[in-house]
């Protein structure tokens, strides 16, 4: 089992942490009193004003020496056509052959420079109801680099501390 020491609290934690957002960043730009009328939000999809379409997926970061990746649960915008294909295949057990779909990351992270509207993605559907895998465009953005190169336990501990002890 993966273990790491949190530098903020000094404790050892077991198991791979994961962090996710309940809605796309764009959703939070809508004034709260207007959200019920303008937004449709479920655990996996979000539509704003009937013309902005988002799906929830996973950015997986390899952790050196670990059997499983660290996962950021994020939201990505899709075109209406791609979103329709996603919805049409939502309940299909075999859908990994569809796509990938182009999208823009709609997320913000405490531990990375700005990402909203600046990171292109490819949304890869997965079979058996597993949330899509989000592949970031190959850039020099730290998040994209970490997705490609992986991180060590010390970096994971930094991320954990930033979210759990800030």
Q: Tokens standing for 117? A: 């509207």
Tell me the helix, strand and coil percentages in the chain, rounded to 5.
Answer: 25, 30, 45
* Mean pLDDT of all residues in 115-141: 93
pLDDT band at residue 166 using 50, 70 and 90 as cut-offs = low
In this predicted structure, the answer to whether residue 116 has a pLDDT above a threshold of 70 is no
Q: Are 51 and 36 in contact (CB under 8 A)?
A: no
pLDDT of residue 134: 98
Q: Tokens standing for 126? A: 């997965």
Tell me the CA distances in angstroms from 53 to 23, 88, 122, one per residue in order.
12, 14, 15
Task: Specify the pTM.
Answer: 0.92
* Mean pLDDT of all residues in 144-150: 98
pLDDT of residue 41: 98
Higher pLDDT, 8 or 25: 25
Peptide bond into 130 cis (omega under 30): no
pLDDT band at residue 12 using 50, 70 and 90 as cut-offs = confident
């Amino acid at each position: 089992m993966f273990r790491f020491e949190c530098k903020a609290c000094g404790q050892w934690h077991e198991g791979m942490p994961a962090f996710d957002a309940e809605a796309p960043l764009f959703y939070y730009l809508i004034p709260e009193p207007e959200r019920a009328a303008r937004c449709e939000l479920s655990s996996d999809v979000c539509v704003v004003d009937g013309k902005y379409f988002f799906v929830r997926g996973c950015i997986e970061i390899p952790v050196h020496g670990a059997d499983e990746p660290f996962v950021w649960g994020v939201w990505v915008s899709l075109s209406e056509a791609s979103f329709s294909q996603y919805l049409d295949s939502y309940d299909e057990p075999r859908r990994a052959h569809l796509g990938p779909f182009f999208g823009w990351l709609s997320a913000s992270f405490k531990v990375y420079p700005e990402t909203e509207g600046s990171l292109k993605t490819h949304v890869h559907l997965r079979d058996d109801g597993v949330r899509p895998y989000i592949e970031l465009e190959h850039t020099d953005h730290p998040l994209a680099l970490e997705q490609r190169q992986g991180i060590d336990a010390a970096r994971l501990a930094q991320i954990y501390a930033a979210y759990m002890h800030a």
